[in-house]
Amino acid sequence: MTAADPNAAPAPGAETDAYVRAHYGYASWALDHPEIGPILHTAAAEGWDEARLAGAIQATAWWKSTSGTARDWDALSATDPATAWQQIGVRLGEVQRAAAAAGITVRDDRISEIVRDSLRFGWQADDITRALWGEARYTPTLGGTAATTITAIRSRAAEFGLPMTDREAFRWTVRIGTGLATQDSLDADLRAQAKALFPAVAKQIADGATVRDLAEPYLQAAGALLEIDPETIRLSDPKFIRPLQGDRQMSLSEWQRTLMTDRQYGWDRTENAHRSALALAQQLGSTFGMV
């Protein structure tokens, strides 16, 4: 009677898991995989060598549609779950810190998906950041990078004389955070809106000027006449953007006359107006021999 060969493939119908682990250890993690498992059992039953088994696995849809990093992660999760969980814990801390720095809140289940996908597909820090921004939702209490970016975007819009709400700025913040937009594309959009809103100075805007740049001489004139700090004048106030509106840009002299004659500006209540009135009275008196 001949002794059984311990390395021989198991007979058809026999338990094959032990054989797979002994002879195809590098793939035994996939015994329960719906596509790879049946191939492993067939290989064990027919005694395939490693080259034939590797060829069969590489021909599967799973292999073709899954990156090498993902295949390695799947194998690690099945063969060494303790190490996989350790890596998950480390990555979870990194993702949570990134979300806190961004100032956004992400649901726990979505955080878990980001953690696992980042490990399985070998994401870099920028990939994680983009994923977090993709989960961001607006709230009035946003902090971190979200809050500072919203403020910066609204300030940039104001330089073009454009009103922008926090929600609108948040949408741009998310687009920039996810890589769908850049500061340059934001500026291009703001510039296009400003050109349509201020046709009289559209060419200067197209050439690189902001509305604030073009309005500065008028704001300085308004500050001097109305006795206010020009830096406190907001372009969102329509009465101070009048020189650039319409089809023709006002001259400075036209603007000064407007400031002095249109009562909505309140020039008549300033010290400048009182001094001008006094000077005029004195001039008239001198002319008519009253002084």
Torsion sign, CA atoms 183, 185, 186, 192: positive
Per mean pLDDT, which range of 101-105, 173-177, 266-270 is the poorest?
Answer: 266-270
Q: Are 243 and 218 in contact (CB under 8 A)?
A: yes
pLDDT of residue 183: 93
Residue 132 exposed, middle or buried by CB count within 10 Å (0-12, 13-18, 19+)? buried
Q: Do residues 177 and 187 lie in contact, with contact meaning Cβ atoms separated by under 8 Å?
A: no
Q: What is the pLDDT of residues 78-87, one digit of tens each?
A: 888 999 999 9
Q: pLDDT, tens digit, for every residue of 205-232?
A: 999 999 999 999 999 999 988 888 988 8
Looking from the CA of 116 toward its CB, the CA atoms found within 13 Å total: 9
Q: Give me the pLDDT at residue 176, please.
A: 92
Beta strands in the chain (DSSP E): none
Mean pLDDT of 269-281: 62
Q: What is the pLDDT, as a whole number, of residue 20? A: 66
Structure tokens at 116: 């696992």
Q: What is the structure's pLDDT at 21?
A: 63
Cα 43 to Cα 186: distance, rounded to the nearest angstrom: 58
pLDDT, tens digit (0-9, with 9 covering 90-100), for 182-212: 999 999 999 999 999 999 999 999 999 999 9
What's the pLDDT at 33? 76
pTM of the predicted structure, to 2 decimals = 0.70
164 — pLDDT class (breaks 50, 70, 90): very high
- Domain ranges for the chain, please list them: 9-61, 80-135, 217-291
